[in-house]
Structure 1
Amino acid sequence: MLLICALMAGLIDSVIGGGGMIQVPALFAFVPGFPAATLMSVNKMASIVGTTGSALQYTRANRSPWKLVVLASLAAFCASVGGAYLLTQIPSQWLRAALPFFLLALLIFNLQSNAGLIHAPKHQHRKQSAIASIGASVIGFYDGFLGPGAGAFYKLLFTRGLGFDFLRAAAPSKFLNVASNLGALCVFLYLGFVDWRLGILLAVANFIGGQIGSRFAIKHGNTFIRKAFFITVGFLILKTFYDAFLQ
């Protein structure tokens, strides 16, 4: 069951992001005896492999702005290290409580526009790099500190913030997600929270799901990805609201 969940997480994450909504609850449900930090490191390990695989698929379909990706990825990595370390020091209940309302505002904001359907970059290179790096820092910190839906946030950064369409935003947003996952994983590994066997097993399943999902998304284009985005964010709103107020 855990491998099936990891495969589905990789598939969903490759299309729009948010695979952690499936993979993290599955880990806590099926491996209850493990420390929470170990389960989070296993999730990051699997996600890194699956997300990298799907990012390479999207790169073959559309050329990526590599300079922008490298700068923003460095920002995401460093911020994620800070977020993951802070997670070990303070409670995160206040962020959990605010998250569903923040997501709802973003969903309404995007429903009112055609963001992601047309590729029309909004800014010149320096301003584009600055916006991407600042946005990646904020999302990367969140990914290290809490994490659900970070992939969808990265896609929002490129579609709404920079004017990319969904297909051209796919690879850059996934490379940023890999960077922030890697930053958080480094912290967990340094602190000794790791299970390599479980991480490798889930990584294989996540990779397979990512390959299936990315090819499907490339075939069906921006309209399909936009619909999947709204469904994913809607589910994420319900999930984060339940986690914050009803558990």
Structure 2
Amino acid sequence: MFEVATQLALLLILAAFCAGFVDSIAGGGALIAFPALLLAGASPVEALATNKLQGTFGAATATLAYANAGHVRPQDQLGMAAISAVFGALGALVAHLIPAEVLRIIMPVVLIGVAAFFALKPGLSDDARAQRVKPAVFAVTVVPAIAAYDGFFGPGTGSFFMMGFVLLAGYGVLKATAHTKMLNFASNLGSLLVFVFSGATWWGVGLAMAVGQIAGASLGARVAMRVGSRLIKPLLVVVSTGMALRLLWQALG
């Protein structure tokens, strides 16, 4: 029994490492970590709560890596991060008001749209482009909408933040990736604080997976900064498409 438990723990840590690596570059780490927790015997609520715990560590690690390299100034994002945390918590609180079955039908279409945008839009690079909305407008419209979605459902949050920064804020792909991480960290933290009181979090498992998340996110951020949009764009397309297919499979299964 002990040997089986050890093997399961190692597999979950490995899944967290892979999730942290992918999430630090293109988002979508939950596509790996959440099913792994379900396979380990967690209920959907337990898997969601534990995923938020371990994912928070990965997002924080990626944020620090991008900040240390000068791609983002966390102090400039404090206002947006506070909004993201509040609406992430609100999203977790009202999760029961929106049937997951409805989201599983709608979100694949949206995710395929995100994938198509990054795959087919010409000129997407690490260079900045025209800003379409002011930062204050972005903070009170795009950020709360995506953070609330992260709190009550989650898949694709990083991809949606990325698209917002590229399409509306005018950021290059690498800069958008760097700025996504702190907002994703904040929404994760906000929703995690709600789940703490639910009693559904597997703390031991989540903290063990956090070790894998930290290692994966650190490596992923370094790779993304070295390669830039040449890696981020195709990985984002693959991850968004993979999440869409998984949600479709769940909705139709």
TM-score by length of 1: 0.91
Residue type at the aligned position of 1:56: L
Tell me if structure 2 keeps the 8 A contact 1:62–1:167: no
| Counterparts in 2 of 1:93 and 1:57: CA distance versus 1, 3 Å | same
The alignment status of 1:91 with 2:99, answered yes or no, reads yes
State the Cα deviation string for residues 74-131 of structure 1 (Å, max 9, x = none).
221111112111114553211111111112223333422333432235157xx22211
- Provide the residue aligned with 1:15 in structure 2: 25
Structure 1 116/80 Cα, relative in aligned 2: closer, same or farther at 3 Å?
A: farther
**Aligned-residue identity in percent:** 29
How far off is 1:63 after superposition? 4.1
- Compared CA separation, residues 65 and 116, structure 1 to 2 (3 A): farther
Give how far 1:18 is off: 0.4
- 1:168 equivalenced with 2:178 (yes/no): no
Instruction: Give me the whole-angstrom Cα distance separating, in 2, the residues matched to 1:63 and 1:235.
Output: 28
Change (3 A) 1:7 1:67: closer
Q: Which residue of structure 2 lines up, in the alignment, with residue 178 of structure 1?
A: 185
Calculate the TM-score normalised by the size of structure 2. Answer: 0.89
User: d(CA) in 1 for partners of 2:76 and 2:125?
Assistant: 18
Alignment correspondent of 1:53: 61
> Secondary structure, in 3 states, of the residue corresponding to 1:24?
helix
Q: How do 1:111-150 and structure 2 match up within 5 A?
A: 111-120=120-129, 122=131, 127-150=134-157
CA–CA distance in 2 between the matches of 1:106 and 1:53? 25
Encode CA deviations 1:23-47: one digit per residue, 9 max, x unaligned. 00110012x1x34322211111111
Query: Contact 1:107/1:233 (CA < 8 Å) preserved in 2?
Result: yes
Letter aligned with residue 106 of structure 1: V
The CA distance in 2 between the partners of 1:121 and 1:63, in whole Å, is 18
Are 2:236 and 1:226 equivalent residues in the alignment? no
Aligned with 2:211 (options 191, 204, 208): 204
1:65, 1:210 → 2: CA distance?
Answer: 18
Aligned length: 242
Counterpart of 2:63 in 1: which secondary structure? Answer: helix
Gaps of 5+ in 1: none
CA distance in 1, matches of 2:74, 2:33: 29
User: What 5-or-longer segments of structure 2 have no aligned partner?
Assistant: 1-10
> How far apart are the structure 2 equivalents of 1:195 and 1:237?
27
Partners of 1:131 and 1:90 in 2: how far apart?
Answer: 24
Q: CA RMSD in A?
A: 1.8
